[in-house]
């Protein structure tokens, strides 16, 4: 259990974010075409798991845009943007923003994702959504970087996440 804030108001998360050196937990999330995606679907590639509450907010949108730009130059790496938005809203966001270098996945059928990854907000008006976090894995799903952003309204440390992939 961790505590994050939004405009200074505290929120508690379920569990703990995976730590560096651990295996990333599996997941079953929903793609834009309503099919399911699992962590195994991205086997053999490095992953930036970009977790945001909703792409319908300015900070989450900026975070997705920034990782979209970075992903264009990353070899053997996939960026997964995971949010509580419905797949239709995620697709509309990507189309409107011209985002093509990442894959959006929705938690709307998978409330266990927040618990399994230690980022589900457990209390307050945002309960059921996720905190803001970035988890970077190698091609074997071993976690090489994590950040649970302490203030939900702030962007993550992009350079630390991208630097973990540079070695």
Catalytic residue annotation: 60
- Phi then psi dihedrals of residue 71, to 5 deg: -65, -30
Q: How far apart are CA 111 and CA 165, in angstroms?
A: 29
3-state helix, strand, coil split of the chain in percent (to 5) is: 25, 30, 45
The SS3 call for residue 141 is coil
């Amino acid at each position: 259990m961790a505590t994050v804030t939004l405009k200074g108001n505290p929120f508690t998360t379920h569990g703990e974010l995976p730590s560096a050196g651990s295996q990333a937990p599996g997941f079953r999330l929903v793609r834009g075409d309503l099919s399911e995606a699992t962590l195994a679907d991205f086997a053999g590639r490095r992953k930036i798991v970009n977790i945001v509450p909703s792409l319908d907010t300015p900070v989450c949108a900026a975070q997705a845009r920034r990782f979209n730009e970075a992903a264009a130059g990353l070899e053997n790496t996939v960026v997964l943007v995971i949010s509580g938005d419905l797949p239709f809203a995620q697709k509309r966001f990507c189309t409107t923003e011209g985002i093509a270098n990442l894959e959006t996945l929705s938690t709307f059928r998978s409330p266990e994702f927040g618990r399994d990854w230690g980022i589900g907000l457990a209390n307050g008006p945002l309960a059921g959504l996720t905190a803001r976090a970035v988890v970077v894995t190698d091609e074997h799903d071993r976690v090489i970087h994590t950040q649970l952003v302490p203030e939900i309204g702030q962007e993550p440390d992009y350079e630390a996440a991208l630097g973990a992939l540079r070695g």
